[in-house]
Amino acid sequence: MTTGGHPPPISAEVFSSDIRERPGEKMNWSKYFTYDPKLGLLRWKQRPADIDDSAAKIRSWNKRYAGKEAGTTRTDGYIAVEIVFLKRKIKAHRIIWEMHNGPIPDGLVIDHINRNRSDNRLENLRVVTRRDNFLNSERFDGKPLPPIKTDEHRTFKKQRTHAKGTSKLKVSRPKPWSAKIWVDGRNVSLGYYATESEASAAYQAAVAKYRNN
């Protein structure tokens, strides 16, 4: 997704000398990344010379990764960064938010305002409840998202081929389109419809209903 390409997953040896953050402490993400505000992406920083590792390994890592974009794009559109010393992958938008605003409050999540999960520009990120994040998951009119172009090289593409909350059955039947909505952790069926637009209208009505409750 970038002009420079993604570095491949980094082995544990690369981060073997990093000091783990203590539980409950704020992560100093700026120690590992720089942030490009125009494109909304993270780049690996050079490894410092004072870490407990050989000079040869430090030079090798810097030559291979420093300055390159961190993370890979998942099938759901989110960009995830492998943090080996934490033994897990973390979504890039969470790292970017915490670099500029501190830890994300408990019970809240980061929402992409324009509903594009790959657009991690800071002005496109905000802290919301999980409910508000769900309600902003895609345009309620069911229309696909247009591409968002930030420069001549970087284009964010739409991530769906059908309206939010709808799906088409693989079997042939008079009403092949179904509509569903998640409410309080349950997937609620809204019925079956002859067309995608009818199913989308049912979903939109349900969104309006539960939003106002």
* Domain locations in the chain as residue ranges: 165-213
User: For residue 76, what are the CA distances in angstroms to 54, 73, 159, 195, 208?
Assistant: 38, 8, 8, 25, 25
What would the pLDDT profile of 166-200 be if each residue is shown by its tens digit?
A: 888 877 778 888 888 877 667 788 888 999 899 88
Q: What is the pLDDT along the chain (213 residues), one digit of tens a residue?
A: 434 444 444 333 333 333 333 333 468 899 889 999 999 999 998 876 666 567 888 788 788 888 899 999 998 889 999 876 677 889 999 999 999 999 999 989 999 998 899 999 999 999 999 888 888 876 443 444 444 444 444 444 444 567 788 888 877 778 888 888 877 667 788 888 999 899 889 988 888 887 665
State if pTM tops 0.85.
no
Chain centroid, CA 144 distance in Å: 18
Nearby residues of 209 by Cβ (< 8 Å), 6 or more positions away? none
What would the pLDDT profile of 45-71 be if each residue is shown by its tens digit?
A: 887 666 656 788 878 878 888 889 999
Q: What angle do CA 159, 161, 166 make, to 5 degrees?
A: 110
